[in-house]
Structure 1
C-alpha cells in the first residue's frame, strides 16, 4: 500500500470516529437549555398537582423524567407526572432545540404550570352574568394533562 492510500484510510477512519462521537455522546449532567433553572426548592413532578391545589397557574421548579420529545424545535416534550399522568411541556422561547437523546433523563425545569380547563357550557371565554353572578364556571378535569411553559431546563441525571 502506498502512502496516499494509507493517508486516505486514516482520514476516513478519523471522520467516521468524529461523526460517531457527535451522535452518540450522552448529554452531560448540568447541561442547560433556555435559562438555568433554580436548583433549590424544586419538587418532584408527581407533587405539582397537589401543590397547585385550587390554583389554575403557578410558577415553580419541578424535577421529573422526560417520557419523550414530541418536537425538538421549540422544545416540546412530555414529562412523567406519576400515577399515569403526563405534563405536556414546551419552552417559552421557541428558539430552543431539545435533542431527542434527552428521553428517559431526569431534568429540573422552571416555568409556569397550568391546569387544562373545560367550561360548563363549552364556551371557554363566555362572560355572561345574571344578577351580578357569573354563570360560567371552569372545572378541571382530573383526566386531562397539566401544561408547563418552560423557561429553563437542566439535565439532572
Structure 2
C-alpha cells in the first residue's frame, strides 16, 4: 500500500506541468503577477511597485540593457534594470517574461527617446517620448 502511494506521487510529479524560467537580477517568484492590461490600468505618474507578466517585444541589441513589452493598448513599456546591475540575453524577443520592480508613466527627453530608437534599430518618432518606465530588480524569462 505504501509503495502504491509512493508510485502515485512520483507519477503525478512527473506529469505535472511546470514552467521553467531563467532568473536575471534578484530572485523573484511568478505568483501574483499582473497581466499587461491590468498593469496599464493601474500605473500612473506616481512611482509604484508592480509584478507583471507579459511578452518581450524588443531587447537592446547593444548589451541587453533594456527591453520593451508587447501590449494591445499601444503604450510603450520600457524596462530597464536596477542600477544597471544586470542585463538580459539579446535573443529573447517573443518570450514570456515576469518582471518585478517600480513603474511610472513619463515623457522621455527627446535625446533619450532617440537613443532608445537607435539601439532598437528604429527611426525616431515623437510618440516614442510617451512611455511607461519600469525599473526591474528581478526578471524571469520563460525558457524554450
1:93 Cα deviation from its structure 2 partner: 3.6
After TM superposition, what 4+ stretches of structure 1 lie above 6 angstroms from structure 2? none
Answering whether residue 22 of structure 2 is matched by residue 41 of structure 1, we say no
Pick which of 74-83 and 145-154 moved more: 74-83
Normalising by the residue count of structure 1, what TM-score does the alignment of the two structures yield? 0.58
1:72 Cα deviation from its structure 2 partner: 5.3
The structure that is helix-richer by fraction is: 2
Change (3 A) 1:56 1:92: same
Answering whether residue 101 of structure 2 is matched by residue 111 of structure 1, we say yes
| Conserved 8 A contact 1:66-1:107 | yes
Structure showing greater relative contact order (alpha-carbon pairs closer than 8 Å, 6 or more residues apart): 2
| Conserved 8 A contact 2:104-2:134 | yes
Secondary structure in 2 aligned to 1:101? coil
1:117 Cα deviation from its structure 2 partner: 4.5
Secondary structure in 1 aligned to 2:32? coil
| Conserved 8 A contact 2:64-2:90 | no
1:91-119: CA deviations, max 9, x gaps?
0142313111211101000000111049x
Secondary structure in 2 aligned to 1:99? coil
Match of 1:65 in 2: 55
Q: Distance in 2 between matches of 1:114 and 1:105?
A: 23
Q: Could you list the runs of 5+ residues in structure 2 that have no partner in the other structure?
A: 1-18, 109-126
1:30 Cα deviation from its structure 2 partner: 1.3
Match of 1:145 in 2: 131
Which protein shows a greater Rg?
1
| Conserved 8 A contact 2:48-2:104 | yes
Pairwise CA RMSD of aligned residues? 2.5
Q: Could you list the runs of 5+ residues in structure 1 that have no partner in the other structure?
A: 1-27, 119-140
Match of 1:25 in 2: none
Q: Distance in 2 between matches of 1:101 and 1:84?
A: 23
